[in-house]
Amino acid sequence: MSPNRKLSLFEAKLCSDQLKNKMMKVAMSMTQKNKAASLDLIQNTYMKALQNQDKFNGPEIDPWVITILKNLQKDEWKRKKEIHVGGNSDLPEIAEQDESAALMLERDKDYCMDTLTDDEQTIISLNQVSSYAEISKDLGIEQGTLRQRLRRAKEKFMECMGFNNE
């Protein structure tokens, strides 16, 4: 961008430090704290937001951009699952017991997260890095409703993982 060009209102909101920090928190939670993957995800989010800025209509850009970020990460997860389902020839025949247990737990966790709705997954992911007030504002729901949805999503997840409150 040339130094003489002024940023549009959309670009100024998109480049705000507040949004950048929020995107980093969400991206880090969705990439298991992988900074390089998070930065790639954020860069792709910026590109997609700029390409689709004509579709933005509203006073708050943050929820719109966070939704783009989450959808890009979900697409990446789906792509990776398709690759893993297609060919496991590069996996070792026998994993060490500790690695095997960790892989099974990770597989179960991924499976149980996939049983949740997109909204439930989003609320759980955002709850790892943001306050109720921030999540409530970003998703456009009341804090009481948010807490109730989070509790239900956690219960559903824990039941799937086999941690029933019997």
Residue 162, classified by CB atoms within 10 Å of its CB into exposed (0-12), middle (13-18) or buried (19+), is exposed
What is the pLDDT, as a whole number, of residue 47? Answer: 94
CA gap 166, 163 in Å, rounded: 9
Indicate yes or no: pTM above 0.85: no
Q: What is the dihedral of CA 138, 144, 150, 156, to 10 degrees?
A: -140
For residue 150, the model assigns a pLDDT of 93
Amino acid identity at 80 = K
DSSP conformation class of 6: P
Q: What is the pLDDT of residue 97?
A: 52
pLDDT of residue 152: 94
**128: three-class secondary structure by DSSP:** coil
- pLDDT of the residue at 166: 47
Query: What does the domain layout of the chain look like in residue ranges?
Result: 8-68, 98-166
pLDDT of res. 88? 47
Q: What pLDDT sits at residue 94?
A: 45
Give Cα 91 distance to the centre of its chain: 27
CATH of domain 98-166: 1.10.10.10
In a structure prediction context, what are the per-residue pLDDT tens digits for the chain, which is 166 residues long? 555 566 688 888 898 988 898 888 888 877 777 889 889 999 999 999 999 999 888 778 988 998 899 889 888 877 776 665 554 444 444 445 556 677 777 778 878 888 888 788 888 878 877 788 888 888 888 999 999 999 999 999 888 888 865 4
Judge contact between 125 and 26, C-beta under 8 A: yes
